[in-house]
Amino acid sequence: MSWFGAERSILDTTHMDETQGRPEPSASELLAKHLRRPSVLLPLLGLVTFVLYSGSLSFEFVWDDWPQIVNNPIIRTWSNLPRAFGSDLWYHVARHQVYYRPLFVAWSMLNYTLFGLRPWGWHLGTVLLHVGAVAAVFWLARRLGLEYWTAALAALIFALHPVHIEPVTWVSAASDTMVTMFAALAFVAFLNGRDPERNPEQKKRAAWWIASVVLLACALLTKEMAVMFSALVGIYAWLHPAKKKAALSRRVLGAVMEAAPYGMVTLAYALLRKHALLYATGQLNPNHGMMDVVRTLPLVLSIYLRQLLVPVGITGLYYTPYVTSHITSAILRQVVAPVVVLVAVLVGLWYWNRRERNSTVAFAGLWLLVGLAPALYLRNFGNGDFVRDRYMYLPSIGFAILAAMGLRRLPSIKGWGVPAVQRCAVLVLCGGYVVASIAQQVYWGNDLLLLARGQALYPGNPYVVAGLAKEYSQLGAHDRAIELARSVVRDHPEYGYGPLALAEVYIHAGRFEEGRVWLDRVNPDYAKSEVGMAGVAGLYGQMGDYERAFALCSEVLEKEPNLYSALYNCGNIHLLDGQYREAEQLLSRAVQLVPEQAAPKHFLGRALLEDRRNTEAQPYLLQAVVMDPKVWDYHYWLAESFEESGNISAARTEYQRALRLNPDSKEAKIRLTALEAK
C-alpha cells in the first residue's frame, strides 16, 4: 500500500494534457515520488524532528547535569579519556554508584571541547542525536521487512512521540539516545550479515557481522540498556530460522548459535565493567523483598504502557513506591487491574500476530518488552524511582513499529476510503504528539520549572520536595524552604539526602546550630565523595567553622584539583575568612574551568574588591551582573565597586536595582540613602 493513497491509480489522480495527450501527475504523486527516495525522506524527517525540539536550545542545565557535566572533572581534557574507561561516571558524587558509560563521557568531552559549558551547544547535541536515532529506526524498520511507507511512518512516530521529551531535552539523558542509535544500527548490521540474498558475498556478510559486533560494543559502553541485545538477536533468529521448516531443537540451537557471539561481547563488557567499578551492582533495598517486586511490577509496566498510549503528565520525577498495602481495594487497583490490562494487551498482540502470520508483530512486541527488561529490576532502584521515560527510549522502537503497522491496516469507514481514513488517523495522532510535546517540553527549561512540575504531579516524591526546598532557600524564602525540608525528613526517613537538604536550608537561613545537627547526619556515602566533601566544606564555611572547612578543602583538592565545586566552595571559604589572595587563586581557577557561570566571577570580583583592588574587581562584578541580572547582591556589590571608583550615578542605579530584587536589603537601603544625601 502506498503513502496514504498518494500513489493511487493514475485514473483517480491525474488528468490528460489535451495538447500532448499524456497524463499529468498530480501534486500528491510528485510529492510521493520524491519522498520515495531516502535521501529526501530522511532529511525531511530530520528537519521536522529538529524544529519540534529546537526550543530546547534555550534550556539551562538541570538536575543531574550539574554533577554529571558542570562539575565533572573528567570531561575537561581528552587526556582523561583512559580514565573514563576505568571509573564510574559518578565516582566523584557517591561511592556506591554503578554507572559505567565511557562513550557518553567521550561525547561529553567532545561537547566541552566545542561549546565549553554553554547549554545551547549541549542541547544542540542531544537534538542531533535524536535525529540520528530517527534515521536508524527507519533503516531498522526497513530491514525488518516493513514496506517503505510503513517504515517511514514508524520513524515519524518515533521522532514525535512525547515520551522522548526527557532524553531529548535533558542533556544527561543523551546516553539513552546514543545507546538506542548504536543498538538499532547494530541490529541492522546483524540483519545484513545474515541475509545471503542481499549480500551474496561471504566477505561482505562478514564485514556486516564485524560492524554489528563493534556497534554493540559501542552501545554497551554507552549505557547498560544494551545488555539485552543478544536476547533480541536470539529471539529474531528463533522467529526467522535459517531453514524455515527446521525442527524445534534445530531452531533453538540456531538461535543460541546466532546470539552467542553477541553474548560473548556482552560478557566481556560485564568483566570490564566489574574491573572498572568499585561496585558492579547497586545496593539492594533491604526493606523490600521479591514479593514487593512481584506486586509492584504490573503497576510499573502499566504506567509505561499508559505513557506510550496517552503521553500526558510527562515529567522526569515520577513517584511510584512499592505496592505494600494488603487492603482489598488497593490490591484491586494497583495489582489486579494492571495485570488484567497487560494480559489483554498480550492477548491482542498474540491474536494479531496469529491472524496475520507476520512475525514482525511478535518481534516488535518482544523488542518493547525485552528492551525495557534492564529497567524492571526494581530492587536496584530507590523506592519510588521505578519509572523514567528515558528507559522507554530504546524499547519504544517496538511500539513505533506496531503503531505504524496498525495505522496502515485501518479499514475503510462508511463514506471514507482506506487512504482517507489512514491519512486522517496519522494527522490526528502526529498532530496530538506535536501539541503534547511542545506543551510538556517547557518544564525542562530550568530546575525550578522541573521541580514545580514534579511536585504538581507527584507531591509525595521526596527528591522533588527536597529540591524545591533548596530552590526556595536560594530565592530567600527560608521559612518555606525549612518547612519543605522538614517534611522530607519527617515523611521519608529512608531518603538519604533529606538531612543534607535540611542542613543546607537551616544554614542558609542563618540558623547554624540546627543546621549543624543535621549536617552531622548527612549520608556518609555522599559525605565521603569529592562533591560531598566540597559541599559540606562550603556549609561549614558559611557557619564560620573554618578549621573543619579547610581540612575538607585540602583533602578534596588533593584528590581532584580540577573539581569545580571544590574550587568554588573553597575559594568562597577563604573569602569569608578574609584570606583574599587564597580566595583569588581558587576562584580564578573556577572561572577558567566554568567561564559560562556568573557566580565564580562575582565572588572573584568580591575577593579582589575586599583586597582593595577595585580596578581588577570591577570587570568581574560587571560580567556577573550581565550574565545573571536576577541576583540582587550581584547588583549590590557592583554598586559598591562603582561607589568606590567615584561613579556615583552608576552606583545609585545598581543599588536601586538591588532593592527592586530584594526590598528587604538593609545594606542597600543604607548605602542608597547615604548617596542621596550626598
Task: Give the pLDDT confidence of 335-348 residue by residue, as tens digits.
Answer: 999 999 999 999 99
Task: Output b/e per residue, 5-16; b: 16+ Cβ within 10 A.
Answer: bbbbeeeebeee
What radius of gyration do the chain's Cα atoms show?
A: 29
Chain centroid offset of residue 483 CA: 30
Burial of 197 (0-12, 13-18, 19+ CB in 10 A): exposed
- Closest to 498 measured CA to CA, from 522, 474, 529: 522
Task: Name residue 85's amino acid.
Answer: F
Q: Which three cell numbers stand for residue 16?
A: 490528460
Cα–Cα distance, 559 to 532 (Å, whole number): 13
Beta bridge partners of 320: 384
Q: What is the pLDDT of residue 9?
A: 37
The list of the chain residues with pLDDT below 70 reads 1-32, 92-97, 278-286, 678
Task: Output b/e per residue, 289-328; b: 16+ Cβ within 10 A.
Answer: eeebbebbbbbbbbebbebbeebeebbbbbbbbbbeeeee
Is the separation of the CB atoms in 444 and 169 below 8 Å? yes
At 491 the three-state DSSP class reads helix
Is 562 contained in some domain? Answer: no
**DSSP state, residue 61:** -
C-alpha dihedral, 661 to 664 to 666 to 672, nearest 10°: 40
C-alpha distances in Å from residue 357, one per residue of 287, 353, 568:
46, 5, 63
Is the separation of the CB atoms in 64 and 444 below 8 Å? no
Q: Which three cell numbers stand for residue 129?
A: 542525536
Is 454 contained in some domain? Answer: no
Is 297 contained in some domain? Answer: no
Is 26 contained in some domain? Answer: yes
Length of the chain: 678
Beta bridge partners of 16: 23
Residue whose C-alpha cell is 536560594? 474
Q: What is the pLDDT of residue 42?
A: 92
Range of the domain at 8: 1-36
State residue 477 phi and psi, 5-degree precision: -85, 70
Total domains, the chain? 1
Q: What is the pLDDT of residue 112?
A: 92
Task: Name residue 433's amino acid.
Answer: Y
Cα–Cα distance, 17 to 29 (Å, whole number): 16
- Closest to 396 measured CA to CA, from 143, 62, 140, 125: 140
Residues 6+ apart with CB under 8 A from 472: 478, 480, 481, 484, 505
Is 5 contained in some domain? Answer: yes
Is 29 contained in some domain? Answer: yes
- Closest to 267 measured CA to CA, from 339, 216, 319: 216
Count the Cβ atoms, other than its own, within 10 Å of residue 641: 24
Q: What is the pLDDT of residue 582?
A: 93
Q: What is the pLDDT of residue 29?
A: 66
Residue whose C-alpha cell is 532502584? 381
Q: Which three cell numbers stand for residue 101?
A: 558509560
Task: Name residue 617's amino acid.
Answer: A
Is the separation of the CB atoms in 163 and 396 below 8 Å? yes
Q: Please provide the distance, in angstroms rounded to a whole number, between the alpha carbons at the two ends of the chain.
A: 84
Is 30 contained in some domain? Answer: yes
3-state secondary structure 510-531: CCHHHHHHHHCCCCHHHHCCHH
- Closest to 506 measured CA to CA, from 549, 472, 530, 533: 472
State residue 629 phi and psi, 5-degree precision: -75, 0
Is 343 contained in some domain? Answer: no
